[in-house]
Copies of this chain bind each other. A is one copy, B any other.
């Protein structure tokens, strides 16, 4: 028998699907506030010898992330953790990696984030702000709009999220360049380049999407030199991590009209401080790290977790297993 620490909310949603596994898996449930129960009885966290963990969205948004993380970190027999996030740059995951724990990340949010990216660029290109003003004033006034058709997209980080952005942009007949560490052909991308070649192609890009992991190599990759190389009518989209961008350099670029627009879902400091200049900037559309919050994200996360838990019980390969050496 293996012990799974499952968020109580998730155990309720997945009750029927978990039941066939209960001859191999004990369910230790963590509730809001961090209390743990086993077979309906509250137990001392010291008595919960956890093998499997699921750092789900229930945990992330339920206010007991710290308690959940602490419980996993102090479980000496921990074998596997499923994350609800794509990026594992949080120090919690580095600690797990240092212990040799197997980890799988999530692509459940990828469709949601890809929709956010496409929708936000279209929001700018189509001029909905003007349209709504015309409508409000009963003004039969048209607005020409920029098309994605034939536009050039640079998608930096062509993993689960970037690839979906590329596939959709491609369906609009945009020209998609994906950026990966090795330039292997990939669906949706007209071509794939490596990070070393970004600077060469930047001057032609209409839309630049940051969808890569935050590492020592990518930290503040969008700096003054990067921004200066961009087209004056380019749109920058960040759904990766705030620290991919030198925010002071970006503000300077936006202030001097050197690029058209920035769509920002992530920031150096989150929540974004109330006095940040990004809030009121006419060239910024911002959201609170919520590009993942599509209506299907939770369900896709549940499906992924169940597939991996079942694979683990059967001894099959896991989906989205991460090379933990890269997290050290």
A274 to B134, CA, bound (A): 12
A274 to B139, CA, bound (A): 8
A243 at the interface (CB under 8 A from B): no
A115, B171: Cβ atoms closer than 8 Å: no
A122 at the interface (CB under 8 A from B): yes
Looking at the assembled complex, report how far the CB atom of A136 sits from the nearest CB atom of chain B, in whole angstroms.
Answer: 8
A261 to B272, CA, bound (A): 32
A111, B290: Cβ atoms closer than 8 Å: no
Contacts of A296 on B, CB cut-off 8 Å? 147, 149-150
A295 at the interface (CB under 8 A from B): yes
A126 at the interface (CB under 8 A from B): yes
Interface string of A142-182 (1 = CB under 8 A from B): 11111111100000000000000001101111000000000
B145, A112: Cβ atoms closer than 8 Å: yes
Looking at the assembled complex, report how far the CB atom of A112 sits from the nearest CB atom of chain B, in whole angstroms.
Answer: 6
A119 at the interface (CB under 8 A from B): yes
**From residue 269 to 324 of chain A, which have CB atoms closer than 8 A to chain B?**
270-272, 274, 279-280, 285-290, 293-296
A131 at the interface (CB under 8 A from B): yes
Contacts of A295 on B, CB cut-off 8 Å? 144-147
Contacts of A279 on B, CB cut-off 8 Å? 135-136, 138
A122 to B280, CA, bound (A): 23
A contact residues, range: 35 or more
A128 at the interface (CB under 8 A from B): yes
Q: A118-B122, A149-B296, A296-B150 are in contact. Are A129 and B131 (CB under 8 A)?
A: no
A126, B115: Cβ atoms closer than 8 Å: yes
Nearest CB in chain B to that of A298: its residue:
B144
* Among B140, B150, B172, B272, contact of A168 (Cβ-Cβ < 8 Å): B172
Q: A111-B147, A115-B122, A115-B126 are in contact. Are A141 and B294 (CB under 8 A)?
A: no
A123, B129: Cβ atoms closer than 8 Å: no
B290, A142: Cβ atoms closer than 8 Å: yes
A92 at the interface (CB under 8 A from B): no
Nearest CB in chain B to that of A270: its residue:
B140
A132 at the interface (CB under 8 A from B): yes
A140, B170: Cβ atoms closer than 8 Å: no
A-B contacts, 9 of them at CB < 8 A, read A111-B173, A116-B145, A119-B125, A131-B285, A135-B285, A135-B287, A136-B279, A144-B294, A147-B294
